Amino acid sequence: MTKRWGITLPVAGLSIADQKELVASLPDLGYTDVWSAEADETDAFTPLALASAWAPRLRLGTAIVPVFTRGPATLAMSAATLAAAAPGRFALGVGTSSDVIVEHWNDIPFEEPYKRVRDTVRFLRAALRGERVDETYETFAVRGFTARLVPEEPPPVLIAALRPGMLRLAGREGDGAIVNWLSARDVRTIAPYVRERDPAKEIVARIFVMPGADPETARALGRRMITAYLNVPVYRAFHEWLGRDDVLGPMWRAWGEGDRRAALRAVPDEVVDELVIHGPAEHCRERIGEYVDNGVTTPVIHLVGDPQDPVRAVRDLAPDG
């Protein structure tokens, strides 16, 4: 498989309108992929649609589109449109998202997330082949839908996964898994579940990076990120499964008691350093390479901290430096 090196769009620190020149330069810098996200900033598809025109050599991926916040047919149409616009260059990543995004922000019940992902992937497989779907799944029903736009090459469908059940689903019914908030060492734990049946299954990892940041600044921001994310139930359960009960237990207890300052103080430096890469660009590239060495197929850099010079940061983190 071709060595891959990706970055998250939109790039932190630049407005979407100002990213054209940078995105167009990515292939010449050695980047192969751009992956989007969908939480509280941009939607997943628009930045990729722009990138498909700005840099026709890049692979485009969603990491991820929540399966709850779009109807099945709408999701299929969005995916088919981008796959048709960028033939052979689009990968659709779907996942549960979180109860915060689904329930608190979108007022949609976060019920049976594993089954909802499974059912959505099964529907998408049929819909993106142009088949007529008239099916009652366990978590939704589709009555007589046939996509009128069918890409010549259906896009691969990857599944955002954290623990064994979803990791196995990603390997069994998806084309691979999308992971985040894990260390390079943790990849050795999750990869065997994805590749139980097929060692060629792709693993995409979003990796949080702060190039050039001094340790004090990076750890202060990293602690805020960790307390914000790893107290979300799905991520807490993930890190409990990974074995971080002892090191993160004090943070979880303080957070549960409503003491946010104590929770921040309770996050150890070594946990921040494992989960958020920081320091000189060369060191950051080496750390990203550890993820690949441990089984990640596609590392996707996610710049955090609003770098003062995002263009330089992207260039400094390019695979060949």
282 Cβ partners below 8 Å, 6+ apart?
321
What single DSSP character describes residue 104?
I
Tell whether the model's pLDDT for residue 102 goes beyond 80: yes
Average pLDDT over residues 123-134: 98
Residues 6+ apart with CB under 8 A from 199: none
Considering only 54-68, 79-93, 244-258, 305-319, which range has the smallest mean pLDDT?
Answer: 305-319
What angle (nearest 5°) sits at the alpha carbon of residue 226, between those of residues 225 and 230? 125
* Confidence check: pLDDT of 1 > 50: no
Cis peptide before 207 (omega within 30 of 0): no
Report how far apart, in Å, the C-alpha atoms of 5 and of each of 8, 166, 262, 270, 316 are.
11, 24, 37, 26, 13
Q: In percent, how much of the chain has pLDDT > 70? A: 99
Mean pLDDT of 94-112: 95
Average pLDDT on 310-315 reads 96
Concatenate the DSSP letters of all residues of 271-321 into one string: HHHHHEEEESHHHHHHHHHHHHHTT-SEEEEEE-S--S-HHHHHHHTSTT-
Evaluate if residue 241 carries a pLDDT over 60: yes
- Amino acid sitting at position 240: E
Q: How confident is the model at residue 306 (pLDDT cuts 50, 70, 90)?
A: confident
DSSP string, 178-190: EEES--HHHHHHH
Q: Tell me the C-alpha distance between 213 and 215, whole Å.
A: 6
What's the rounded mean pLDDT across residues 38-46?
95
- Kindly state the average pLDDT of the residues 21-25: 97
- Mean residue pLDDT across the chain: 96
Q: What is the pLDDT of residues 108-121, one digit of tens each?
A: 999 999 999 999 99
